[in-house]
Amino acid sequence: MTKSALESDVLIIGGGLAGLTAALDLAARGHSVVLVEKRQYPFHRVCGEYVSNEVRPYLQRLGADPAALDPARIGRLLVSAPGGRTLSARLDLGGFGLSRYALDEFLYERAVERGVQGLLPATVAEVQLGADEHFRVALADGQELRARVVLGAYGKRATLDRQLNRPFFRQRSPYVGVKYHLRLDFPPDLIALHNFADGYAGLSAIEGGRYCFCYLTTREQLRRHGSIPALEEQVLARNPHLRRVLSEAERLYAQPEVINEISFAPKACVEQHVLMCGDSAGLITPLCGNGMAMAIHGAALAAAHTHAFLRGELNRAALEAAYSRDWQRTFAGRLRVGRWVQQLFGGPRLTDAVVGSLRYAPGLVRTLVRQTHGQPF
């Protein structure tokens, strides 16, 4: 290790919601934090941009109240089958809509104000825990860092997963995500989930009178139709609700954001002593619409246990065991329900039958929503 290596209590890899809120939390507790992010803020991410209100008290305690960004207030859910049949439900807890473009930059600015040191754009190439109980972290540009704790909050998939030899990384995933921002005549308090053959799309309001339109489909379906415009015209538009969106909405940037290899396979929340947060630890199916809140809640768990370790209240083995236990207790059930719900919405006939049945069981719909959401913390 060179003498010029940058040292900190905590190194956070990835500046998404999990990484940023963990950085804010740990800095507020008096720890030195370095955050590595591969892009410069602000930037877009493929994301549904709906956040359950369960995270509001925590964000307020961190001094990062999202109300400052004038988010959309969302309290109703609409689900449609490919043929157009719908069911609707009230969201008991509700949520808010904010673009990641605005929210991530807002959280980063709050983190810097708290003393977090950001290294961006930068990419982590290797992470190793040394015999001295400090991590050695090598960046792609050759810079070396040292930290007592490393949090992995770099999202759904990264080359670092290969270095950590994570099993899911060796498995190909068929899913592709696509996102636009739109202007559209649509109820601002409604989140809509529109199904189509081999996929589904989410539509909900964000700040500034705009809407996030994000959909998941398969790589094979995209290959079969040759392009995103052809896929939208020939597949998504068969759902009359999506046909209206695609024909009437103003698209606010010419090319959509696209991400490949989205994996819903189970992941470990600790890998080679790195505490994983957010999508790095596990990804709920977008159909359940709660990934952003889960990322923030996971960061809260990681920060609390990391603080106890840095204060000498836990050794490393106890830190990893306590975080794994709490993460599983908090999220494992949600992820299982999410995978089960996604299986209900398979082909058009199955989805139509499920929607047709659930529209007469609003209590069951609300129960399913509660199973994929948490309580305010």
307: tokens are 């603080």
How wide is the angle at C-alpha 46 spanned by C-alphas 45 and 47, nearest 5°?
Answer: 100
Q: How high is the pLDDT of residue 4?
A: 67
**In whole angstroms, what is the distance from residue 32 CA to residue 11 CA?**
9
**In whole angstroms, what is the distance from residue 150 CA to residue 347 CA?**
42
**In whole angstroms, what is the distance from residue 220 CA to residue 316 CA?**
44
Residue 358: half-sphere exposure toward Cβ, Cα within 13 Å = 25
**In whole angstroms, what is the distance from residue 58 CA to residue 239 CA?**
38
| Category of 178 on φ-ψ map: left (φ > 0), alpha (ψ -120 to 50) or beta | beta
| 3-class SS of residue 150 | strand
| 3-class SS of residue 75 | strand
CA torsion sign for 354, 357, 358, 363 is: negative
Residue 189: half-sphere exposure toward Cβ, Cα within 13 Å = 9
| 3-class SS of residue 345 | coil
What is the distance, to the nearest Å, from the Cα of residue 309 to the centroid of all Cα atoms in its chain? 26
Q: How high is the pLDDT of residue 196?
A: 94
DSSP state letter for 40: P
DSSP state letter for 5: -
Q: How high is the pLDDT of residue 207?
A: 98
**In whole angstroms, what is the distance from residue 364 CA to residue 210 CA?**
31
Contact 327, 88 (CB under 8 A): no
Q: How high is the pLDDT of residue 135?
A: 98
Rg of the chain over CA atoms, in angstroms? 21
Q: How high is the pLDDT of residue 2?
A: 46
Is the CATH number of domain 6-69+99-171+264-349 3.60.70.12? no
- Please count the other Cβ atoms lying within 10 Å of the Cβ belonging to residue 188: 14
pTM, full prediction: 0.93
Is the peptide bond between 121 and the residue preceding it cis, with omega within 30 degrees of 0? yes
Q: How high is the pLDDT of residue 358?
A: 86
**In whole angstroms, what is the distance from residue 102 CA to residue 112 CA?**
16
Per-residue pLDDT 10s for the chain (377 aa) are 444 689 999 999 999 999 999 999 999 999 999 999 999 999 999 999 999 999 999 999 999 999 999 999 999 999 999 999 999 999 999 999 999 999 999 999 999 999 999 999 999 999 999 999 999 999 999 999 999 999 999 998 888 999 999 988 888 888 999 999 999 999 999 999 999 999 999 999 999 999 999 999 999 999 999 999 999 999 999 999 999 999 999 999 989 999 998 888 889 999 999 999 999 998 887 777 789 999 999 999 999 999 999 999 999 999 999 999 999 999 988 888 888 877 777 678 888 888 888 888 888 888 888 888 889 99
Contact 330, 297 (CB under 8 A): yes
Is the peptide bond between 66 and the residue preceding it cis, with omega within 30 degrees of 0? no
Domain range list for the chain: 6-69+99-171+264-349
Residue in this structure with the two tokens 């602000």, named with its chain if needed: 42
